[in-house]
Chains A and B, each alone.
Chain A
Amino acid sequence: MSTGYFTIVKKGDHMMGRFSAMASPCELLMETQDPLLANYLTSLAYKETKRIEQKFSRYLPNNPMANINHSMGKAVAIDAETFRLLEFANSCFELSDSMFDMTSGVLRQAWKFDGSDNVPPPEAVQALMPYIGWKKVKYNQSSITLIKGMELDFGGIGKEYAVDCVANMCTEYAPKTSVVVNFGGDIQVTRARHNSQPWYIGVESPEDDDKNTTHTLKIISGGLATSGDARRYLLKDGKRYSHILNPKTGYPIEKVSRSVTLAAPHCIQAGLLATLALLKGSDAEVFLEQQDVKFWCYR
Chain B
Amino acid sequence: MAQAERIPADPNPSPETEAFWEAAKAGRFLVRRCKACGKAHWYPRTLCPFCASLDTEWIEGSGRGTIYSYSYMRRATPPFVMAYVALAEGPTMMTNIVDCDPEGLRIGDAVELAFRSSEGGFAVPCFRPSGVGAAS
A binds B: no
Q: Which of B's residues lie within 8 Å of A, judged by CB?
A: none
Q: Which of A's residues lie within 8 Å of B, judged by CB?
A: none
